[in-house]
Amino acid sequence: VHCSVNGRNFKSKMQSKRIELLQSPWMIELGAFYLNCESLDGGDDLVRQFSCDLGSDRPAMILALSDSMKLEYNLTCPICL
């Protein structure tokens, strides 16, 4: 990811949405993981369970563990990151 075309595209996409999120190495790696899973055969199941909302005032990352349980992380919170 670090020197690849996909990595540069990902970083540009993140910068256009929320520059402050690039301060977290964890967020960069999770975003790269998400992009890699999207391109895998059979990765749709995982991608459906994982989402990022970068467009709101409170950007969040959401992981659905089951129909009744989900984890939501505030991406501007230093504790969540």
User: Which domain, by its residues, includes 30?
Assistant: 5-74
Q: Is residue 69 part of a domain?
A: yes
Q: Is residue 48 part of a domain?
A: yes
pLDDT, tens digit (0-9, with 9 covering 90-100), for 48-65: 677 777 777 787 878 787
Q: Is residue 81 part of a domain?
A: no
Phi-psi region of 42 (alpha: psi -120 to 50; beta: other; left: phi over 0): left
pLDDT, tens digit (0-9, with 9 covering 90-100), for 3-28: 677 767 777 776 676 656 666 677 76
Which of the 8 DSSP states describes residue 61? Answer: E
Count of domains observed in the chain: 1
Q: Is residue 80 part of a domain?
A: no
| Residue 24 exposed, middle or buried by CB count within 10 Å (0-12, 13-18, 19+) | middle
Q: What is the pTM of this model?
A: 0.45
